[in-house]
Amino acid sequence: MRLLFTMRIIGHGIDIVETARIERLIDQHGTRFLERCYGTNELAYAEGKRCRSEHLAGRFAAKEAVLKAMGTGLSGRIQWTDVLVLRKPDGQPFVTLTGEAQRIAQELQIDQWWISISHIATHATASAIAVATDG
Ligand SMILES: CC(C)(COP(=O)(O)OP(=O)(O)OC[C@H]1O[C@@H](n2cnc3c(N)ncnc32)[C@H](O)[C@@H]1OP(=O)(O)O)[C@@H](O)C(=O)NCCC(=O)NCCS
């Protein structure tokens, strides 16, 4: 028996974030900013790294890219921590959604996220593609 399935691209989003902006927000708001925007695992990964703000900026860019791909941006009841950017053992990032973001993704039938992050000292960028699998 041959199993057939098709994949539909539901949306694509990109974003770019200045690392200095993240550093400013940390200086101004400290843990209040960090805990409002990042989950425990995201913070643990960046913590202690020489270029912590690059990793955090990359995750911030990825969160924005995901929200753009869903067509929402940060609106309604969505929170930054609804979009978590984690990593596989080889370093490849992946996304898990909770809360309102997860609800909207389900409504849009999104069941896969393809994301990519890149960063240098001054900027981080990310791209997110939302995919629905049929069949
Ligand atoms: C992936 C790789 C090309 C990154 O390129 P780079 O120019 O050094 O760095 P960039 O700023 O462009 O990208 C860094 C981001 O790439 C992503 N990345 C890392 N490993 C990845 C992989 N195997 N596949 C896809 N994306 C990966 C991460 O999101 C990383 O950012 P983060 O650490 O903040 O999560 C390079 O690190 C590589 O070849 N890695 C091979 C896998 C490896 O050695 N892993 C060891 C880590 S445990």
What is the per-residue pLDDT across 32-82, written as a single tens digit (0 to 9) for each? 999 999 999 999 999 989 999 999 999 999 999 999 999 998 888 999 999
Neighbours of 24 (CB within 10 A): 13
**Ligand 1: nearest atom to the Cα of 117:** 29
d(CA 54, CA 70): 24
What pLDDT was estimated at residue 107?
Answer: 96
d(CA 107, CA 16): 27
Q: Which residue has a Cα nearest atom 33 of ligand 1? A: 55
Q: What is the 39 CA–ligand 1 centroid distance (Å)?
A: 20
Q: What percent of the chain has pLDDT over 70?
A: 99
Are the beta carbons of 53 and 17 closer than 8 angstroms? no
- The residue among 49, 31, 120, 131 whose CA lies nearest residue 87 is 49
Which residues have CB under 8 Å from 90's CB, separation 6+? none
Q: What is the 129 CA–ligand 1 centroid distance (Å)?
A: 18
Enter the pTM of the model.
0.92
Dihedral pair phi/psi, residue 94, rounded to 5°: -145, 165
Specify the fold of 6-134.
Ribosomal Protein L22; Chain A (3.90.470)
* pLDDT over 80 at 100, yes or no: yes
What pLDDT was estimated at residue 3?
Answer: 72
Q: What is the 77 CA–ligand 1 centroid distance (Å)?
A: 32
